[in-house]
C-alpha cells in the first residue's frame, strides 16, 4: 500500500479585508474632520483682589439677550450695529448674558467692542 504524504498548503493572507478596513477608516476620518479655522479666545482671569479694585471702575454693561440682541443703556441693538454705537465710549465694558443667550452672540459682542477700539472688555461667565 502506497500512501502519499499530505501536502501542506502554504497559508495565504487575503488583503481584501485589510483594504476594506483602511477604506472605512479613511471615510470616517474624512467625515469627522473639520476644515474650519480655529481661533484662540484670550481669557484674563482676575484674582479676588483685582476684582475688588475693578468694582470702583465705571462700567458700561452690555447684556446679550436670549434672541441674540444686545441691550446697551436701556435700548436693544442688533450685534451688527453695536460697533458704531460703541465708538464714542471710553468706559470699561462688561458683557453679561442671559443664560439662554447663544455663546456665539456673546463672542460677536466681544468682537464688536474690540472693533470699536475699546481696550478693557470683560466677558462675564455665567454659572
- DSSP codes, 54-106: HTTS-EEEEEE-TTS-EEETTEEE-GGGHHHHHTT--SEEEEEE-TTS-HHHH
Q: Are 26 and 33 in contact (CB under 8 A)?
A: no
What is the C-alpha separation between 27 and 12, in angstroms, rounded? 28
Query: Residue 56: pLDDT band by 50, 70, 90 thresholds?
Result: low
Task: Kindly state the percentage of the chain with pLDDT values over 90.
Answer: 13
- For the chain, the structural domain boundaries read 67-118
Instruction: Supply the pTM of this predicted model.
Output: 0.57
Encode pLDDT of 71-117 as tens digits.
988 888 888 888 888 887 777 888 888 888 888 888 888 888 888 88
Amino acid at each position: 500500500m502506497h500512501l502519499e504524504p499530505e501536502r501542506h498548503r502554504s497559508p495565504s493572507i487575503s488583503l481584501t479585508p485589510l483594504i476594506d478596513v483602511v477604506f472605512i477608516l479613511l471615510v470616517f476620518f474624512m467625515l469627522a474632520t473639520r476644515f474650519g479655522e480655529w481661533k484662540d479666545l484670550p481669557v484674563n482671569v482676575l484674582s479676588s483682589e483685582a476684582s475688588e479694585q475693578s468694582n470702583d471702575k465705571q462700567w458700561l454693561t452690555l447684556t446679550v439677550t436670549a434672541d441674540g440682541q444686545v441691550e446697551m443703556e436701556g435700548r436693544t441693538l442688533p450685534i451688527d450695529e453695536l460697533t458704531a454705537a460703541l465708538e464714542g465710549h471710553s468706559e470699561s465694558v462688561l458683557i453679561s448674558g442671559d443664560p439662554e443667550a447663544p455663546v456665539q452672540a456673546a463672542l460677536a459682542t466681544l468682537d464688536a467692542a474690540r472693533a470699536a477700539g475699546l481696550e478693557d472688555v470683560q466677558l462675564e461667565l455665567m454659572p
